[in-house]
Structure formats: structure tokens, C-alpha cells
Amino acid sequence: MRTVGFIGLGIMGAPMAVNLVRAGYDVVGYNRSRSKVDDFVANGGRGAPTVGEAVHGADVVITMLPDSPDVRAVSADIAAAASEGTLFIDCSTIRPDVAREVDEACAASGIRVLDAPVSGGEKGAIDGTLSIMVGGREADFADAKPVFEAMGKTIVHVGPPGAGQTVKAANQLMVAGNIQLVAEALVFLEAHGVHTGSAIEVLGGGMAGSKVLEAKAGPMTSRQFTPGFRAELHHKDLGIVQSAAREAGVTIPLGAVVSQLMSSLVAQGHGTLDHSALLKLVEQLSGRE
């Protein structure tokens, strides 16, 4: 499988597609914004003016789209343009029930589907070190493994269709909670006049250490909220978590709180900032803006 159609060349999708090109794949990219396609072509890929043309003749089709309705709509175009046996890998973060729906709909056209959301942020996408959680059939996962290895480092088959999205929902729950606690800790430290750089160093070496602390504490301290992952997207993801939790009859009290905080951040007009801008809410609630 050497030809890849890649739909969605945004913050995450573009570097993922470029890493496939660097790994030797013939990648045809499509994005609603033509400038993104032009940038991808400048990095060695090929461009397509429509989803259908990106998909036609591809052995593998990968999507990296914002939300469930986008994937549902594009999957219909993929099913119409792809050949029987094409492997469709959706790396978007969407509802698990929609992932199962897409799998069933595409199977009727002979399209093999894997739901394979990713974690690791923009840096992980650029470095090719993403964590990829894959739902779908074991044989299809085995066929897709070389493609995944061009984009990620930790690649795990987690179960049947929809399982990848379920694991991603758990990931987004944990990340949001961790960001909120890091934000609270930083504001707490600053209020006591502690040198935050030194505090972050020692906290990172103990049980409080985490990928979130490592990646986000520095930019949060300097109030640099350039998006690696937009708050509005994490807000969407937390909605997925809450919906899936209700469906399973699971209570997530801390998740509900951080979901409300993320919702407030977006409602205040900060949705395009990095999700670490939760720090702004902690400062606001503490009267330290």
C-alpha cells in the first residue's frame, strides 16, 4: 500500500501527511482551504481539488477532521470514490457511536475502516511520535501498521470498531483534568512568590510529573497560549466524553467540572487559544487577572 489520500491538512493533519511523504508514500492531500494544500505540495506531497480526487486510486485514505458531522459527510464521499478493499483510517476525534456507524456504512461498499484517533499534540505530529489508539478488525490493523509507524511511536490495537474513539475520550478526560490542576498549581505557586521554574523542575521529577506538566507548564507560566490544540476542540471532545459516559451509566464528577470550565473559556471568546489557557480562568476566579 503505497498511495495515500489524506483529507484534512490542519495543525495535526499537515505534519502527519508530510511524515508519510518522508516515509516514501505517494500522498495526495485535500483541504477545504487551498492554501493548506499548496503548503503540503511545497513539502513534497500532491494536491487534489476535491475529496473524490484525493481518494481515487488510493490504497489508504486517512482523515483528520474537526468533528463527527465532518467525518460522517466525508465518509460518504470516500465510499463513493474509493475502490473495494481500500483501507479508510479516521484519525479524527469523534463520538464512538459515529465511528461504529461509519464502519457499518463503509463496509456495505467494501471499504475497510479503522478508527485511529491520535494523542501527542502538534509536536507529536511534527516529530512522528504520536500515540495512536486503533479500533477495528485485527487483520486491517496489521495491514495498516506500516502507515501508522510513519506517523506515530506508540501504536496499539485497542478493540473492535469504535474502541479507538472510546480510548481517545478517556485520554481527553485525563488531559483536561491534568491541565486544570497544573493551572491551579501554577497560580497557587505564583501567589506565594515561589520561583515557578524551580518548582516545575522539582515537581516534574516526582509523582506530580506528567507529559502535560512537561509540555504545558513553561508556556503557561509565560502566558503563551499559541494553539497546539485549541480549547474549542477540547471543549468538543469533553462533550463526547460526557455523552459516552451517560450512555455507559458512568459518573465522571471531576470530568463534568473541567468540562464546564472549558466551556466557560470558550464562551469568553478564548476558544482559539491553546487548551492550557484554562490558566486564565483560574486567575480570573482567584482575582489575579
Amino acid letter for position 200: I
Pair 139, 233 in one domain: no
Pair 193, 130 in one domain: no
For the domain that residue 88 is a member of, what is the CATH number? 3.40.50.720
Q: What angle in degrees, to the nearest 10, is found between the helix axes of 96-107 and 163-191? A: 150
Q: What is the pLDDT of residue 289?
A: 80
Pair 204, 78 in one domain: no
For residue 244, which of 177, 183, 163, 182 has the smallest C-alpha distance? 163
What is the tally of structural domains in the chain? 2
| End residue of a domain, out of 105, 130, 160 | 160
In SS3 terms, 46-67 reads as: EECCCHHHHHCCCCEEEECCCC
pLDDT tens by residue, 64-94: 999 999 999 999 999 999 999 999 999 999 9
Q: What is the pLDDT of residue 139?
A: 97
What are the average pLDDT values for consecutive 10-residue runs of the chain, which has 289 residues? 94 97 98 96 97 96 96 95 96 96 95 96 95 98 98 98 97 97 98 97 97 96 94 96 94 97 98 97 94
Count of CB atoms situated within 10 Å of the CB of 111: 22
| End residue of a domain, out of 107, 136, 160 | 160
Pair 80, 119 in one domain: yes
Pair 7, 105 in one domain: yes
pLDDT tens by residue, 188-197: 999 999 999 9
| End residue of a domain, out of 108, 134, 160 | 160
Catalytic site positions: 168
Pair 182, 261 in one domain: yes
For the domain that residue 264 is a member of, what is the CATH number? 1.10.1040.10
Q: What is the pLDDT of residue 270?
A: 98
Apex CA 9: angle with CA 99 and CA 152, to 5°? 65
Pair 9, 56 in one domain: yes
User: Which residue segment(s) compose the domain that 73 sits in?
Assistant: 3-160
Global pTM reads 0.91
Pair 218, 278 in one domain: yes
Pair 124, 227 in one domain: no
152-157-162-163 Cα dihedral, nearest 10 degrees? -110
Q: What is the pLDDT of residue 177?
A: 98
Q: What is the pLDDT of residue 228?
A: 85
Pair 183, 231 in one domain: yes
Pair 229, 269 in one domain: yes
Count of CB atoms situated within 10 Å of the CB of 184: 16
| Grid cell listed for 197 | 521554574
